Amino acid sequence: MQASVHEAKTNLSKLIEAALRGERVVITRHGIPAAEIVPARPARVTIGGLKDRLAPPSDAFLAPLSEDELADWGA
């Protein structure tokens, strides 16, 4: 299915529905393909997905760097 930019503005909901049904929806500008409407991919990241899987940082991790470690970082 093809639609001009003007048609896409007017019928966006219908074009989205067509894309969700698996149709190829191409938006044209002056008869030249310019964009394609495709269904969004489901998110792969779950907020809080690592909860209870990671240990809290140790005290050593949060401790200030030693003089030698600071020197290694150029500080």
**1 — pLDDT class (breaks 50, 70, 90):** very high
Gap between the Cα atoms of 8 and 72, Å rounded: 58
Structure confidence at residue 42 (pLDDT) = 85
pLDDT tens digits, one per residue of 25-68? 999 999 999 999 999 988 888 888 888 888 888 888 888 988 99
**75 — pLDDT class (breaks 50, 70, 90):** low
Architecture of domain 2-40+50-72: 3-Layer(aba) Sandwich (3.40)
- Per domain, the residue ranges of the chain are 2-40+50-72
Instruction: Give the single-character DSSP code of 50.
Output: T
Gap between the Cα atoms of 18 and 16, Å rounded: 5
Structure confidence at residue 16 (pLDDT) = 97
- Between the two ends of the chain, the Cα-to-Cα distance in Å is 60
Cross-strand pairs, 4: 28
